[in-house]
């Protein structure tokens, strides 16, 4: 489980300033096609429960889970309801139950090829469960191999886990819809922009303009099918991000074929405010010519 | 923690039939053999032992043991081993790796593991070269030496791993020799029994790439009088123990003694337990 707290780059960059510049990095970092889950929280309450869930998913799917937060979120202080600790479940995933009275010589297959892709896991020190773990490609026993057939089987096994995650993870964990759920005016975003967007939507509603926010929380594997109805009905589709290049918009287009109609970005290290976003959305609602709107802080 | 559950376990129970790509005559075989005898001799069952390997020839040792064997990332073996020990304190945790892995890329982990006296044993296979990648100078190779892969003598200075281990807080420090398996078994067992962080340096001739410090060199065959270079500290009455209630003067004297022994090389090279510090609380 990796907590990735994003800030402005390059290298040391702006250590005390925010950015959502690591989305594509989180999804693609590392060589090869290593499966992982990427979750992004929109506020502090979400961040608390998502952190728990990230650990659970890491154990359930036996793979890396990246919990994406950013400087703005990490440095935010606010009053929240007490966390509901009773509601928290700690999952250990599928565990290996050894046959009785063995001494580790029972041929336990730590990486057994299963339909789900998940192999029951023995915990270090458990009688009957000794095995080898390696960063090298490996057989079901954990032996290093470069066998082409085994490689295919293991690649497919790991890919099956991602398909399983997409099937199992409930829709409300994949994304949340705020505002007028039926409104065509659709803001799509992720991470800590949530607060500013909700404020801007409220002001638009006060002006008589119905709009909705689709806050995507599971960024990888990408919930393309679940999002499709919202993409079909979006008019316009506005993507809001705290980065230069619109990484979420790129991801959305790559995974669904749907390009954003408007891209609102900010990349000066400062979080988006409800006020400036409200003004940008008003301009879009009026049908502005610009398709990419940059939010700035000229007074600073 | 070491708990003997059955007296029947033998080194044979720790053998694994698996293709091995170490070179013929490699010191790694001696260390693996000693490790198998050591854990069997302590009565440990395979599931009670976890061996973590670094990257390099040495790090593969875990593939030849029927224990929980984890092949980790280059230089990160101590981090994995520490995590496992904290998660399951009942496990006997052993980390194995080479000088390049542990003192090159892994130097930061070596230093910071020293600050936490976690009960685990780190066995460093010290052959002064990067054997897996064809014999480049490792951090333990002295300045001016030129093993056969180097185009010119080593231009960098060396790390003395024993001095470094003491400086950063390892509480048990020893040195063995890959071809003195009987002695090495005893050292590994002492290191495992030590209730804190143990560093065991093993001089491990690399027959393929280190043509300077060979088995014959350690045996002193290049010298006129044929006097072996290696000797055992315990045979000279060396006492490595810092007692739990040691006063500052005792600790200072033991430290001085350790530093003197850790610097002996070339003419006489000590093997044995250099330091057993009982005055530091352990995890």
In a domain, residue B254? The reply is yes
In a domain, residue B4? The reply is no
In a domain, residue B25? The reply is yes
In sign, the C-alpha dihedral spanning B22, B23, B27, B32 is positive
Closest Cα in chain B to A144: B63
In a domain, residue B1? The reply is no
As a whole number, mean pLDDT of residues A259-279 equals 97
The reply to whether A126 and A175 lie within a common domain is no
Nearest to A30 by CA among A8, A54, A63: A63
Interface test with chain B among A132, A141, A146, by most B beta carbons within 10 Å: A132
Q: For position A101, what pLDDT does the model report?
A: 61
Contact status of A129 with chain B (Cβ, < 8 Å): yes
Nearest to B62 among A128, A132, A135 (CB): A132
The reply to whether A264 and A181 lie within a common domain is yes
In a domain, residue A188? The reply is yes
Q: Locate all alpha helices (DSSP H) within B117-247, ordered by sequence.
A: 161-168, 181-193, 215-218
Give the minimum alpha-carbon distance from B19 to chain A in angstroms, rounded to a whole number. Answer: 11
Interface contact B91-A123, CB threshold 8 A: no
Interface contact B69-A133, CB threshold 8 A: yes
Q: For position A147, what pLDDT does the model report?
A: 97
Q: For position B282, what pLDDT does the model report?
A: 84
Q: Which chain A residues have a beta carbon less than 8 Å from that of B71?
A: 132-136, 144
How many folded domains does chain B comprise?
1
Residue B77 CA to residue B53 CA, distance in Å, equals: 6
Strand partners, B216: none
CB B193 within 8 A of CB B177: no
Interface contact B84-A144, CB threshold 8 A: no
Give the other-Cβ count within 10 Å of A101's Cβ. Answer: 8
Q: What is the ipTM of this complex?
A: 0.88
The reply to whether A139 and A185 lie within a common domain is no
Q: Which chain A residues have a beta carbon less than 8 Å from that of B67?
A: 104, 130
Residues 6+ positions from A257 with CB-CB distance below 8 Å = none
CA atoms in the 13 A half-sphere facing the CB of A185: 18
Give the minimum alpha-carbon distance from B62 to chain A in angstroms, rounded to a whole number. Answer: 8
In a domain, residue B181? The reply is yes
Strand partners, B230: B269
Contact status of A9 with chain B (Cβ, < 8 Å): no
Interface contact A133-B71, CB threshold 8 A: yes
B148, two tokens: 């056969």
CB B53 within 8 A of CB B77: yes
Give the minimum alpha-carbon distance from A143 to chain B in angstroms, rounded to a whole number. Answer: 8
Q: Which chain B residues have a beta carbon less than 8 Å from that of A135?
A: 71-73
CA atoms in the 13 A half-sphere facing the CB of A285: 21
Interface contact A144-B48, CB threshold 8 A: no
What confidence tier does A298 reach under pLDDT thresholds 50, 70, 90?
Answer: confident
**Owning domain of residue A10:** 2-84
**Owning domain of residue B100:** 11-277
Give the minimum alpha-carbon distance from B46 to chain A in angstroms, rounded to a whole number. Answer: 7
The reply to whether A207 and A196 lie within a common domain is yes
Interface test with chain B among A105, A124, A126, by most B beta carbons within 10 Å: A124
Q: Which chain B residues have a beta carbon less than 8 Å from that of A143?
A: 18, 63
The reply to whether A70 and A34 lie within a common domain is yes
Give the minimum alpha-carbon distance from A73 to chain B in angstroms, rounded to a whole number. Answer: 29
Residues lower than pLDDT 50 in chain B: 1-2, 4
Q: What is the mean pLDDT of chain A?
A: 95
Give the minimum alpha-carbon distance from B24 to chain A in angstroms, rounded to a whole number. Answer: 21
In a domain, residue A234? The reply is yes
The reply to whether A183 and A275 lie within a common domain is yes
**φ, ψ dihedrals at A130, nearest 5°:** -60, 145
Interface contact A130-B69, CB threshold 8 A: yes
How many folded domains does chain A comprise?
3
What confidence tier does A170 reach under pLDDT thresholds 50, 70, 90?
Answer: very high
Contact status of A125 with chain B (Cβ, < 8 Å): yes
CATH number for the domain harbouring residue B76:
3.40.50.970
The reply to whether A80 and A115 lie within a common domain is no
Strand partners, A134: B71
Q: For position B272, what pLDDT does the model report?
A: 98
Q: Which of A84, A112, A132 is the last residue before a domain boundary?
A: A84
Residues across chain A: 300
CATH number for the domain harbouring residue A10:
3.40.50.970
Nearest to A142 by CA among B71, B22, B28: B71
In a domain, residue B282? The reply is no
Residues 6+ positions from A14 with CB-CB distance below 8 Å = A7, A8, A269
Helix (H) or strand (E) holding B79: helix B77-87
Nearest to A124 among B18, B66, B91 (CB): B91
In a domain, residue B205? The reply is yes
Q: For position A99, what pLDDT does the model report?
A: 76
| Interaxial angle between packed helices A224-233 and A247-256, expressed in degrees from 0 to 180 and rounded to the nearest 10 | 100
Angle at A119 between CA A130 and CA A162, to 5 degrees: 140
What confidence tier does A299 reach under pLDDT thresholds 50, 70, 90?
Answer: confident
Interface contact A125-B18, CB threshold 8 A: no
Interface contact B71-A143, CB threshold 8 A: no
The reply to whether A220 and A128 lie within a common domain is no
For A261-289, letters b (16+ CB in 10 Å) and e give: ebbbbbbbbbbbbbebbbebbeebeeeee
Residues A210-260 pLDDT 10s: 999 999 999 999 999 999 999 999 999 999 999 999 999 999 999 999 999
Q: Which chain B residues have a beta carbon less than 8 Å from that of A124?
A: 50, 68, 84, 87-88, 91
Show which of residues 54-113 on chain A sit within 8 Å of chain B, judged by CB atoms.
Answer: 103-105
In a domain, residue A300? The reply is no
Q: Which chain A residues have a beta carbon less than 8 Å from that of B68?
A: 124-125, 129-131, 133
Q: Which chain A residues have a beta carbon less than 8 Å from that of B91?
A: 124-125
Residue A51 CA to residue A66 CA, distance in Å, equals: 10
CATH number for the domain harbouring residue A194:
3.40.50.920
The reply to whether A58 and A35 lie within a common domain is yes
The reply to whether A161 and A106 lie within a common domain is yes
Interface test with chain A among B68, B85, B95, by most A beta carbons within 10 Å: B68
Q: Which of A59, A84, A109 is the last residue before a domain boundary?
A: A84
Give the minimum alpha-carbon distance from A227 to chain B in angstroms, rounded to a whole number. Answer: 38
Residue A39 CA to residue A165 CA, distance in Å, equals: 12
In a domain, residue A129? The reply is yes
| Percent helix, strand and coil across chain B, each to the nearest 5 | 35, 20, 45
In a domain, residue A113? The reply is yes
Size of interface A-B (CB pairs under 8 A): 58
Say if residue A14's pLDDT is above 50. yes
In a domain, residue B283? The reply is no
Interface contact B71-A144, CB threshold 8 A: yes
Residues A84-93 pLDDT 10s: 999 999 999 9
* Three-state helix/strand/coil letters over A91-119: CCCCECCCCCCCCCCCCCCCCCCCCCCCC
* Three-state helix/strand/coil letters over chain A: CEEEEECECCCCCECCCCCCCCHHHHHHCCCCCCCEEEEECCCHHHHHHHHHHHHHHHHHCCCEEEEEEEHHHHCCCCCCCCCCHHHCCCCCCCECCCCCCCCCCCCCCCCCCCCCCCCCECCCCCCCCCCEEECCCECCCCCECCCHHHHHHHHHHHHHHHHHHHHHCCHHHHEEEEECCCCCCEEEECHHHHHHHHHHHHHHHHCCCCCEEEEECEEECCCHHHHHHHHHHCCCEEEEECCCCCHHHHHHHHHHCCCCCEEEECCCCCCCCHHHHHHHHHHHHCCCCCCEEECCCCCC
Nearest to B35 by CA among B202, B214, B222, B223: B202
């Amino acid at each position: 489980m990796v907590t990735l707290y994003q800030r402005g780059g390059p290298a040391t960059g702006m250590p005390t300033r925010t950015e959502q510049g690591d989305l594509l990095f989180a999804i693609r970092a590392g060589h090869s096609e290593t499966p992982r889950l990427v979750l992004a929280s929109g506020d502090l309450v979400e961040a608390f429960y998502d952190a728990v869930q990230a650990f659970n998913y890491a154990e359930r799917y036996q793979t890396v889970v990246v919990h994406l937060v950013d400087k703005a979120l990490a440095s935010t202080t606010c009053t929240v309801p007490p966390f509901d600790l009773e509601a928290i479940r700690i999952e250990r995933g599928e565990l290996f139950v050894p046959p009785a009275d063995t001494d580790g010589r029972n041929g336990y297959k730590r990486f057994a090829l299963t339909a789900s892709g998940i192999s029951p896991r023995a915990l270090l020190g458990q009688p009957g469960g000794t095995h080898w773990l390696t960063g090298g490609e490996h057989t079901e026993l954990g032996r290093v191999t470069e066998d082409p057939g085994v490689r295919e089987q293991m690649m497919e096994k790991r890919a099956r886990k991602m398909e399983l995650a997409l099937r199992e993870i409930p829709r409300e964990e994949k994304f949340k819809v705020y505002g007028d759920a039926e409104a065509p005016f659709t803001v799509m975003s992720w991470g800590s922009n949530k607060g500013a967007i909700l404020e801007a939507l409220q002001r638009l509603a006060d002006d008589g303009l119905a709009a909705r926010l689709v806050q995507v929380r599971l960024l990888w594997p990408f919930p393309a099918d679940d999002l499709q109805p919202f993409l079909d009905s979006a008019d316009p589709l506005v993507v809001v991000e705290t980065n230069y290049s619109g990484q979420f918009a790129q991801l959305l287009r790559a995974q669904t074929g749907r390009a954003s109609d408007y891209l609102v970005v900010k990349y000066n290290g400062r979080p988006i405010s409800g006020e400036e976003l409200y003004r940008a959305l008003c301009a879009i609602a009026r049908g502005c010519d610009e398709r990419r709107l940059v939010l700035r802080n000229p007074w600073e | 923690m070491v708990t003997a559950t059955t007296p029947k376990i033998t080194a044979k129970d720790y053998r694994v039939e698996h293709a091995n790509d170490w070179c013929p005559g490699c010191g790694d075989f001696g260390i693996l053999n000693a490790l198998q005898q050591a854990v069997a001799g302590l009565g440990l069952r395979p599931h009670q032992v976890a061996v973590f390997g670094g990257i390099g020839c040495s790090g593969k040792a875990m593939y030849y043991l029927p224990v929980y064997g984890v092949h980790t990332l280059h230089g990160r073996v101590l981090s994995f081993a520490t995590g496992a020990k904290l998660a399951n304190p009942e496990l006997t945790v052993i980390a194995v790796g080479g000088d390049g892995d542990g003192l090159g890329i892994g130097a930061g982990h070596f230093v910071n593991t020293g600050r936490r006296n976690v009960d685990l044993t780190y066995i460093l296979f010290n052959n002064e070269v990067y054997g897996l990648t064809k014999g480049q100078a490792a951090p333990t190779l002295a300045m001016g030496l030129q093993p056969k892969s180097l185009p010119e003598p080593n231009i960098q200075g060396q790390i003395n791993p024993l001095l470094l281990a003491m400086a950063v807080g390892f509480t048990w420090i020893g040195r063995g020799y890959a071809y003195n398996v009987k002695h090495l078994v005893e050292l590994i067992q002492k290191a495992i029994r030590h209730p804190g962080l143990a560093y065991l340096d093993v001089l491990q001739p690399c027959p393929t790439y280190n043509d300077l410090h060979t088995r014959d060199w350690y045996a002193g065959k290049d010298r006129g009088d044929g006097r072996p270079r290696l000797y055992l500290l315990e045979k000279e009455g060396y006492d490595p123990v810092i007692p739990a209630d040691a006063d500052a003067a005792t600790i200072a004297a033991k430290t001085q003694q350790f530093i003197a022994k850790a610097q002996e090389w070339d003419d006489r090279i000590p093997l044995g337990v250099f330091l057993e510090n009982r005055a530091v609380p352990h995890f």
